[in-house]
Amino acid sequence: MLVKDFKRDFYDAIQHQRVLVLVAFDVDALCASKILQYLLQCDHIVYTIVPVSGCEDLERAFVENSEGIQHVVMINCGATIDVVEVLQPDDNICFYICDSHRPVDIHNMYNVIQVKLLMKPEDLTEVPSYDEVFRDDESEESGEESDSSESRKKRRRFDDEAILKRQDRRKWEENRNKVLFDYTKFTSYATSASLIMFEIAWKMSKDTNHLVWLAVIGVTDQYVHFKTPRDKYMEAVIALQSHVSRHNHRVDGADNVLSINCLRIAFDEELQLLLYRHWSLFESLCHSLSTACKFKVWTLKGQKRLHEFLAEMGMPLIQCKQQFGAMDASLRTGVKAMMQEHIAKYGLTMQDIVVPSFTAQCGYKTRLSATDVVLACVAVLEAVDRNKLPSDNFLSAQDILSSYHTEAIDKAIQLAKRQLTALVTQVQTFLDMHQIISAGPFLYVFVNEGTVDMKYFSQPQCLTRLARFTLEAHCALSRSKRATSLPLVLGTPLLADLGATLVIGIPPLSTDDERKNFFGKAFEQAAVSTSSRIRQDNFDSHIIEMKTEDRSKFFDALISLLQ
């Protein structure tokens, strides 16, 4: 059931009892959990936060932590499954689901007692009506039978009515299957969980500047990982801009000036160059999606065009290849204006170079953009270290968000740079070896076993960025007009299971304004038709684990299905 009054039906309801918070392994969920954690601490509500990486982990976490619990908050998990059916909770347990994944399971929508949805009504469109998917048949009682002619007439009439009822039910079930298929065939994302949680804090007058920054990071995470189109991202940015202005307003006068050590958030058009403040300008240009694909930096001709672009801007190469903070101040401060002046000649648009975003600065420390923090947090969340558990990574990422400890953030940014370097190197390998193959209705490519940086790609969010970078790079090089209308399926060996492959499917670039993904349903149907052994454990159904030996028959079925 959709919650209309978040304060009354959610926050007031969980007061005075211990709350179990189940959080997915993504930055948006991490930020939302930090906001909720702050609210719970304000009112001295006892809570337990447990990170969960998939559906099996969700079930295990619930079983291990549900004793004595009446309220369970699920952040970016739980919406797409029937939580009551899967988790089998006691009757007194209530689930509050704040999840950006769509579509929401139909049982969660119409469960009035045990499931409460913390979502915006405008994000729940095209939901089937109750009568289309649920039917309450009246129980039919058969009276005492006799052999009289009257009873035989009644029985015949009853048999005719039963036949009509069965026909009617069969038609209703056929329509129900069609309606449910149409409802679930595409997966997408709605308003970020962190923005929902921030709005709850704001309506209760408990919002702070730090909570605004967490909401900014959560919204940016959706944009960085291609979960939301640019226009929807812009709506969220505009909504947050007023809060940023309110909390960072400065008035002349000694009594109104905040300490220099306070967090200061600024809104501006930010360069879409990844980690450029912590890298060299040249490296950032080569590792950012839009500029790398437009210049085709993996070719000699592309490198030459990039050098020409920098020369035309009046940026010496020796300056561009050193740390951004060490560049001449005049060049450093004017780089955005110079880029905007010369992009048209090189096929770039304003949207390729700049995006409205936010930066934060604490004291005299290096300014951080929201994208920088997202990449740093993802790098820590998905770090592969045999000596660390996933929960340890979760806590480390929380530390980055809760403090501005320069050393921890610097380490995370260095790790993010290594991930980006590995990603771009892998894309160049795909292109140089001509490994991206057209299967007809889609493109596919696989990371080779034994690849040095394979450990990075066995994580879902890094794999998502690799798939998108690969598709855009292929479309930039391809001479085929069909390239932008073809989706991509990418697979990589799974570190945790030597005989398994992690597979992701992403939609074509031509449908970029919608960001709807059909691969979740397609993977499921291809696996059923071929008895392939797959595991759809991820909260994103378009990411699956598959036995490597079933790959051939699975892809044959997928090709015939999508033709």
Q: Domain-by-domain residue ranges, the chain?
A: 11-126, 435-562
User: What is 435-562's CATH topology?
Assistant: Diaminopimelate Epimerase; Chain A, domain 1 (3.10.310)
Give the integer Cα–Cα distance in Å for 455 and 76. Answer: 25
* Contact between 30 and 381 (Cβ < 8 Å): yes
Using N-to-C axis directions, what is the helix angle for 230-247 and 209-224, rounded to 10°? 170
| Placement of tokens 């579509």 in the chain | 103
Query: Going residue by residue through the chain (563 aa), what tens digit of pLDDT does each one get?
Result: 899 999 999 999 998 889 999 999 999 999 999 999 999 999 999 999 999 999 999 999 999 999 999 999 999 999 999 999 999 999 999 999 999 999 999 999 999 999 999 999 999 888 999 988 888 764 444 444 445 566 666 666 667 778 888 888 899 899 999 999 999 999 999 999 999 999 999 999 999 999 999 999 999 999 999 999 999 999 999 999 999 998 887 644 444 445 556 788 999 999 999 999 999 999 999 999 999 999 999 999 999 999 999 999 989 999 999 999 899 988 888 899 999 888 888 888 888 899 999 999 887 777 899 999 999 999 999 988 878 888 999 999 998 887 666 788 889 999 999 999 999 999 999 999 999 999 989 999 999 988 888 889 999 999 999 999 999 999 999 988 889 999 999 999 987 667 899 999 999 998 888 889 999 999 999 999 999 999 999 999 999 999 999 999 999 999 999 98
Predicted local confidence at residue 385, as pLDDT:
81
Strands (E), 286-379: 354-362, 368-369
pLDDT score, position 301:
93
Q: What Cα–Cα distance (Å) separates residue 383 from each residue in 205, 368, 418, 453, 466?
A: 37, 21, 11, 12, 16
Give me the amino acid identity at 540.
D
Pick the CATH number of 11-126 from 3.40.50.300, 3.90.1640.30, 3.30.70.1350, 3.40.50.150: 3.90.1640.30
Q: 25 phi and psi, to 5 degrees?
A: -85, 65
322-to-280, 286, 317, 360 alpha-carbon distances in Å: 5, 14, 9, 23
